[in-house]
Structure 1
């Protein structure tokens, strides 16, 4: 079974001042290198008068990781930003940390701390999603079974996507894929094998 992963829901931004230099950290969900590069280009355009627009991005494919110091001394900016993303376990994200120089040099250690902090601030204000392999199931049954079945659904942390109360009850639900086998077994026992939930889709979703 595929492993779950952590990403973010939407763009988030925060900033701070370090010895008169202004640092703005912005994080964006991306699924391809093209999306990451487009976001970086957008930020460079927005902050074209900034001293540096440092970036890092990590994709879920497992091998695409890029970063740039954008003119800062080598290893003091891009790598620390990338390091924050990796320590947080985030994928399919891109961070740009913009610096408006305030006139005071920070030194190598100061730059590493400042860019790390800029990236961490952006991560901290973002809504993190724990994306897990999920299964969408559909089933139909008589009204007499509805009470019993609806009683066990919370136990499996299911999300009801659709319900249709016609001649029979039709339910479309989603749960994490690791719970499907146990759910089917309990449903089998509960309904004397009268109800069989069949799989209609498998996807990643923010569900635990």
Structure 2
């Protein structure tokens, strides 16, 4: 049996399937795992190969609930938020240091363009890039300045599920 559930925040779409299991023993308990954690924009499939009648209704519910909870724990939770994108010029000798500085400021390096020098495409949670700009000025003695490259909704750092 492949029992599934999904929750989509846009439009409040919530669906599940027991895939032939006794009603209410699979899809709904899986859905409850995500609703209790207030997790949206997720899809979960739990496959049962063995047990059925031997487990009984209570055992099935516990098995599907545990499968969904284990998947959530393994995947973790990432909160979506507005991130600003920046192009950061960088010399080759500063590359590794620059990567560390971006991470220390809460940003991520998404891409790098290599040429005579390097341009790093970075992303910072909205409102946090200014801290990095000050550090960039300090590291380069004022010779490097980052330029805005837009903004996107991106997942933040992975959090442990409770």
Question: TM-score band, normalised by the shorter chain?
Answer: 0.5 to 0.7
Select 1:104's aligned residue among 33, 47, 54: 54
SS of the residue corresponding to residue 46 of structure 2 reads: strand
Give the alignment partner of residue 122 of structure 1, picking from 50, 67, 71.
71
In the alignment, which residue of structure 2 is the partner of 1:29?
none
Q: Is 1:182–2:131 an aligned residue pair?
A: yes
- Which runs of no fewer than 5 residues in structure 2 stay unpaired? none
Task: Report the equivalent of 2:31.
Answer: 82
Query: Which among 12, 17, 24 is matched to residue 63 of structure 1?
Result: 12
Using a 3 Å threshold, how does the CA distance of structure 1 residues 131 and 153 change in structure 2: closer, same or farther?
Answer: same
Residue aligning to 1:156: 105
Per the alignment, do residues 139 and 113 of structure 1 end up closer, same or farther by CA in structure 2, a change over 3 Å counting? closer
- Corresponding pairs, count: 151
Shift of 1:101: 4.7
Structure 1 residue 117: Cα displacement: 1.5
**8 A Cα contact 1:175 1:207, kept in partner:** no
Name the CA distance, whole Å, in 2 between partners of 1:169 and 1:96: 43
Measure, in 1, the Cα distance between the counterparts of 2:138 and 2:11.
Answer: 41
In structure 2, the residue matched to 1:15 is none
Instruction: Report the CA distance between 1:139 and its aligned residue.
Output: 3.5
Q: List, as ranges, runs of 4+ consecutive aligned residues in structure 1 with deviation greater than 6 Å.
A: 189-193
SS at match of 1:106: helix
Give the distance between the partners of 1:201 and 1:120, measured in 2 at CA: 36
Q: Distance in 2 between matches of 1:75 and 1:102?
A: 14
SS at match of 1:104: helix
* CA drift at 1:83: 0.9
Superposition RMSD on alpha carbons, in Å?
Answer: 3.7
